[in-house]
Structure 1
Amino acid sequence: MRDGNHFESVAASYGSARPPYPSVLYDTLAQHGVIGAGRRILEIGAGSGEATKELVRRGSAVVAVEPGPGLAARLRRTCPESSVVVSRIEDVDLPARSFDSVVAATSMHWVDLPTMLPRLDRALGPSGLMAVWRTVYGDPRVWTPFRQAVREIVARRSPSDRPHDPLDPRPSVEELEAMGNFRLVRSWQWPWQIDLDAHELRALFATFSDWQDPGELDAVQAAAAAQPGSVTEHYVTVLHLLRSTTGDR
């Protein structure tokens, strides 16, 4: 699924540094039958339980897969009602038709999709659901002095290190549909905003796998500190909901 070394290095601060997903996301998942009372959920890359705790709060029975031992230990403390599996999802034995839904919160881009999509399909019942979401940190449609500073930091990287279109985060719908096991039901985008200070922004950026350079983190913190008061960040959470095609075949 991923090399967890970076995420393990920030395990102690990961849960507090990352802002929560908007409540409308979970409302939408519940409305479409992805989560809820009695639903058997497989969660991929659960981290320290940022999404897990809300899935459990809404009555779901969650098997949370997390490869990092430090993150998994925090996950167990955060969500003792969940069943935690310390492993890469690629190495987990998934019995056929054992789940109603699969969810991945900012984790599916680490998964070996050609290997896992057929296996996830088999683990679901006919017409089972898969929800894949992540937050875009920095809405490209909104200009702020802080975000301009971030763009200038990123522009100094080599071209291969620069991100692609942020409003089309990987995996794309095309990648999720590529094996023929799942078909898109619908996608959503929810813009939202949050106020963060310079220390909170540095802590947040330190959780990103592509922001490991201490000099870049110093520059982010300095750019935030240069703004009057806190920084208003504009984010977008993107959700793709797909359904297994097994029931169609």
Structure 2
Amino acid sequence: MAKKQRLDKVLAHLGYGSRKEINRLCKGGLVTVDGEVIKSSSTHVDTENSIIKVGDEEINYREFVYLMMNKPDGVISATEDSRHQTVVDLIDAEYRSFDVFPVGRLDIDTEGFLLLTNDGKLAHRLLSPKKHVPKTYYAHVEGKVTETDIEAFKRGVTLDDGYETKPGELTILKSDTVSEIKLTIYEGKFHQVKRMFEAVDKKVVYLKRISMGNLKLDENLELGEYRELTEAELEILVNS
């Protein structure tokens, strides 16, 4: 049986205005459901099977949205902030109307894969420590990263507060005065990648998340750009 929802809630969710403004649209005869003019904005409608139009525009309703963003440096992973630009500030009003939020956090100076959604259940599952969802990062690290570091990360390292991390998978791409690495971790402690390298006396000078779960960042997304996940990508993420 299809779930019915109030018309004003549906249209407000899609950014057609406040409930008061939507009520005015209805009273003005501008909203139709299956060809019938709906004067009451409190009418319950079947969003899955009915054709709902505002003026000549047919709405495309969905309960949840899933956005992949290539987060830029200098923007914080939050919905609002009085001092800094947030990732939500970077997205269009049509998506902000869904009350999306970032799934987890990337530091202000960290770039890369960030998921924004209004699906709280999926967010909780991806962030749950019990699920061990992998997150992979690319980084530049001051100092030569060596096989000794690979072994240390494989065992888990002790952070500055005494916490012992779960094993991480460190891959050396280039070992030099500034090394290039990939690191996969299965938890999300505060500043974890940076603190793991500090534990082996090295410093991360550039950090980018390149995947979450089994889903990789779209390399065509420029910094600050985002797009909706495809159904196939959502399936990959759900099954991570």
TM-score w.r.t. length of structure 1: 0.25
Higher helix share: 1
Q: Could you state the TM-score of these two structures normalised by the residue count of structure 2?
A: 0.26
**Structure of higher RCO (CA pairs closer than 8 Å, 6+ residues apart):** 1
